[in-house]
Structures are given as C-alpha cells and as structure tokens.
Chains A and B, each alone.
Chain A
Amino acid sequence: MGELKLMKGNEALAEAAIRYGADAYFGYPITPQSEVIEYLSEQNPYERTGMVVLQAESELAAINMVYGAGASGKRVMTSSSSPGVCLKQEGLAYIAGAEVPCVFADVVRGGPGLGTIQPSQADYFQNTKGGGNGDYRNIVLAPASVQEMCDFVALGFDLAFKYRMAACILSDGAIGQMMEKVVLPDQKPRMTDEEIKAKYPWAINGRKNGTQHRIITSLDLDSAKMEEHNIHLQKKYKEIEEKEVRYEMINCDDAEYVFVAYGSSARIAQKSVQLGREAGLKVGLLRPITLWPYPTKAIDALIKKGVKGFLSVELSCGQMIEDVRLACNGRVKAEHFGRVGGIIHTPEEVLEAMKKQIIGE
C-alpha cells in the first residue's frame, strides 16, 4: 500500500501530478483551488523530479503555456476555478483542434460571473458541452473524494495521451478544500526526452534531419481537409463513447427510483439512498464518473430493468438533467433537484425531493 495521508483535494491533485511524473504545471491563483499552485511551489518539484511550475499572468496565458508544452509531447497540467476556466476555453478549443494532450482541473465555484467562492456544480455545461468554439469534446472525470482527486490525475493523463486531447477533472470547492484520507501512489519517473520522441512522433520537439517537419495547428483553409479533420475528431470521440464510459452503481439492482449524481452531490445522494432504504423505499444511486462520455447506456439499462424514475441531484439549477433526459428519451420521469449559491443540499431534502418529484403519492 502507498503512503497514507490526510490531505486537501487540491493538495492531493498537486501531489499526484508530481508522482505521476508530470513535466509541467502552469496556473494562476483563484479560490477555491489556489492550494494547487501553492502546494506545488512549496514542494519544489523542480528539485524533486525536474517538474516545472510556473505562475502565469492569467489563465489565458496558463492554458496557452499548456498548449505549447503539450504540443511538444510533455505531460502538462493546469487547474483553475470557474471564472478562470472561462478564460481557458479559447485555449481548450485550440487544444481540441490541434489534438494536444493535457489535463486540466476545474474546482468549481458558483456563478455566473464572479458569483461565489462556495462549492457548485454549475460548470457542467461549460466542461461537458465545450465552452470554446467548434465541434469538440473533452473527457470529463468527476472525482467524489480526495482519493479520486489523486487517482484521476493518472487516469486523466493516460486518457489524454491515448486519445490526444484534453482531460478535465471536474471537481468543486468542497472536494478541493476538504481534507480526507488519501493513499498516494509511488513516484514514477518522468519520461526522458528520447522516450517522448519515440512514443509521440507527432510532437514538436525538433525534427530529425531529413525527416518531415511536424505541425501542431487547428487551422486548415482547405474545406475538404477541414471536413476530413472534423470527421477524424468525431470518430475518435465515438470510440471514446464506446470504450471509456465509467460510472458506479449503488443499490441499483432492485431499485425502482434512482438518484443520478456526481462528485459532492453523489456523496450526499448516497446517504439519501441509505435513508430511503431504511424507510423501505427501493432507491439507488447512479454515479457517473465520466461526465463525457456520459453513461447513457447505463440509464437505458436501468430503465429496461424497471426503474420508474430518475432524480438528477446537482449543485446547479439543472444541467446534467439534460443528459439524463436524453438518455431517458421520454420513457420515464426525470427531474432535477439542487441547491445553488454555495448552499449544499442535505441527504434528507434530497430524499424528500425524490419522494415529491418522482415517486409521488
């Protein structure tokens, strides 16, 4: 077993990046995720592993530093919180178009605009539907614990490099700020320059004499080629939808009514399931771990098994509910419940909402 520690989610994310052998982190302070760059600065990873850590002048600069370093085949990460992630959207669209692998974390706070620094899940649209321009997707992983904040760094990098795209760790202020036990992985070595050159022939790190130069770009003026490029991207996304869906089911085997919730809300809904079961209700929880690709088929399977209704529990005014409804396609009832503005719903009110909005009298 690895090292057991009590850590904040933000610190676990940072430590995991060092231990994964990440090459660089570029970031800009913002509450509630400033601990990521603070922890990295304090740990001096440049001395520990040679990992570069840089405080950029803005999120806009940070994501473009990621674009540059990622294009060269290095493993790079950035993190921010909601208003900062807005500024990253331009870069993320370029990263998608140019197929640059990278990991970014959004430790979500309430909006719109400056909003509140308290936890929220209202960046679901921004991250799963793509806030930048064009037809693109980012893989979105939703940690529900400090342990997953740590584990999803490795998973994110693996997926990002497998598919040459951005992987988002979509967390929130509660998971970022809270301390919990976490078992840390062992330190992995950073890849050598030779290993990078051998493994990622697309990366721009100086071409070999006599070989074709490589170009990282999202642009093509030739419409036919641009269409081809878009079709290529869509094929990649399709493959991910087939292969990379991840979720967890709790008490769903005999469930008639199911909560759908991710991250912080899933922890609360899990308690609601327990309370519901104690009261004799056949309730369960579907916890999407990938928010894109979405576990649409899991919802479909639950309906086929007899689930009569879903309650999407989110710290938002109702965003993921759209994906739940798409999956239900009108066959069963699907409603949303959630508190916003930094208020976190209680397990009791979540269960009450299930009774009122879905189960009925």
Chain B
Amino acid sequence: MTVQDIIKPENLVYQKSKLLTNKPFHYCPGCGHGTVHRIIAEVLEELGVGDKTIGVSPVGCAVMAYDYFDVDFAEAAHGRAPAVATGIKRVWPDKVVFSYQGDGDLAAIGTCETIHTCNRGENITMIFVNNGIYGMTGGQMAPTTLEGMKTATTPYGRKATLPAGAGFDGIPNNGYPLHITELIARLPGTKYVTRQAVYDPAHVRNAKKAIRKAFENQINGKSGVNFVEIVSNCNSNWKMEPVAANKWLVENMLPEYPLGDIKVDGKLVEK
C-alpha cells in the first residue's frame, strides 16, 4: 500500500475528535490529561452537543484546556470551577456544562466549592483528574498524595502524623490521602459518582463509558452532579518514565483509590 492508499477516506479507522482543535497539547508526553481530553471530546461529539457545551477549566496543568476543546470555555480561579459552572448552568439550564479539575484544585483550595456544588445538586458534570500531586507548580504535595510519597514539599515522604511529642502520642503533620470522591458520593445532591483510569486501552474504554453516562444524565434531565474521578499520572513530577509511572499507578494509586462506580442513579453501590 502506498501512502496515497492509506490516506483514502475508506481506509480511515480512527481520527481525532472534531471537537478537539489542532493545537498540540502542551502536556508532558505520557500524561493522562491528554487522554482524558480526547475521550471527553469524543463523547461530546458523539452526543452531538458541541454547540451547546460550555466547559470550565481549572488552575492546574489543564488550565489551557480551552485551547484544545472546540467548545465555549471559561477559565476559573484556582479551585472555583464548580462555582463558575454553577453560575453558567443556573442561567443557561439547557446547556451542557462541565468542569475539569485536578486534585489540588478540586480537593484542596476548592474543597468548599466542590462540596457545596455537589450538595446543591447542580445539574452539571464534574471531571476530576487525580494524579496525587500538584503538576503545574512543580510537584508539591496534594491532598490526594499517598502516605510516604515524596513530593517537593514532602521531600522525605508524606507523613500523616509525626511521632509522639508536645504531650500527645502523635503530632499532626500532612494528614491523610483525601478521598473526596467517596465524601461527595454521600451527599444527596450527587447523581452519578465513579472512579476510572486511563493507563491502558481497556480502562480508557471504561472511562469513556463513564464520562458518556455523566454527560447523558445531564442531557437527559436527570438532576444532580455527575462526578467522574480519573486516577491519573504525573510522570514528570513523579520523576518516572511514562511506562514506569503507569505501572506505579497500578501498584500504588489504585489500592488507595480503587476503580469502579461509587454511586449510580443516586444510589450508593454496595461493595
């Protein structure tokens, strides 16, 4: 086959979603953000809602998500994306509104907005990319950082507590990995809550299905927040090769953050 044959329309097997722009991603090679972008764009394209979708990007590595999605977008202050999305959705209830956030954005500085948006049961889709670290700012501890994990602000490993001292049998230090997704699943305002991953093709397919459901619920008028956590990597700040980072993710992140649906149609999934 010549190149001319290969590029014939009838030989097309796969193409970039039309809802992604031609701008090359600035993400580090191997980073999960790019894959998550792609499947969101594919879902929105398949659902045919490109012209009625409004996205809200975070402050984090995905801050410039607006450059990659060919849908309307607002960039929010650090942690405030769910409030910005609330503002949009309340005045344009027939639009498809989603927020896209990292773990620092959603579960540290933005915890208040996260919890209250979920508690109000806003009819939006929230995408949460958990890579256990602050990627954008150079690898500091995130609330989701695993115990013992080395980051720029926990160079000797995250320690939830320090040994006995000051009259206590332990001194609070960096706290414990925060399971925000389980937390918000308990709120009556959340409709669909799930945790997925994108480190291999099978999981990308699952994650895409979940994201699809999270948007379909919103489009079909099911009330409440649809929340998809993606356990992802940050090979650059984990200081690993991409493949090693994905292996590390499976071995370390997934035991702490197990995959699967947590709440479906407003009901907690029995485990």
Chains A and B share a contact (CB less than 8 Å) = yes
Among B35-85, those with CB < 8 Å from A are: 59, 63, 75, 77-79
Segment among A35-43, A225-233, A332-340, A346-354 that sits at the interface with chain B: A35-43
Check B143 for interface membership: any CB of A closer than 8 A: yes
What's the minimum C-beta distance from B109 to chain A, rounded to whole angstroms? 4
Nearest neighbor of B153 in chain A, beta-carbon distance:
A41
Closest B residue, CB atoms, query A40: B153
* Interface bin, chain B: 20 to 34
**B149 / chain A contacts, CB cutoff of 8 Å:** none
Contact residues of B: prevailing secondary structure: loop
Complex-state Cα separation, A41 to B157, whole angstroms = 11
Q: A37-B153, A41-B153, A41-B155 are in contact. Are A28 and B138 (CB under 8 A)?
A: no
Q: A41-B153, A42-B155, A44-B156 are in contact. Are A29 and B77 (CB under 8 A)?
A: no
Known: A29-B140, A55-B140, A57-B143. A34 touches B152 (CB 8 A): yes
Pairwise interchain contact B108-A37, C-beta atoms closer than 8 A:
no
**Is B137 interfacial (CB 8 A cutoff)?**
yes
**Distance to closest chain A CB from B14 (angstroms):** 35
Which residues 15-70 in A have Cβ within 8 Å of B in the complex? 28-31, 34, 37-38, 41-42, 44, 46, 55, 57-60
Is there an interface contact between B137 and A30, defined as CB atoms closer than 8 Å?
yes
| Set of chain B residues within 8 Å of A34, measured between Cβ atoms | 137-138, 140, 152
Known: A29-B153, A34-B152, A114-B63. A58 touches B140 (CB 8 A): no
Q: Is the CB of A55 within 8 A of B174?
A: yes
Q: Complex: how many Å from CA A30 to CA B109?
A: 12
Query: Does B119 sit at the interface, judged by CB under 8 A?
Result: no
- With an 8 A cutoff between CB atoms, is A113 at the interface? yes
Task: Assess the B109–A57 pair: CB atoms within 8 A.
Answer: yes
B138-166 toward A: CB 8 Å interface, digit per residue (1/0)? 10110100000000111110000010000
Residues of B within 8 A of A (CB): 59, 63, 75, 77-79, 108-109, 111, 134, 136-138, 140-141, 143, 152-156, 162, 174
User: Chain A interface (Cβ within 8 Å of chain B)?
Assistant: 28-31, 34, 37-38, 41-42, 44, 46, 55, 57-60, 83, 113-114
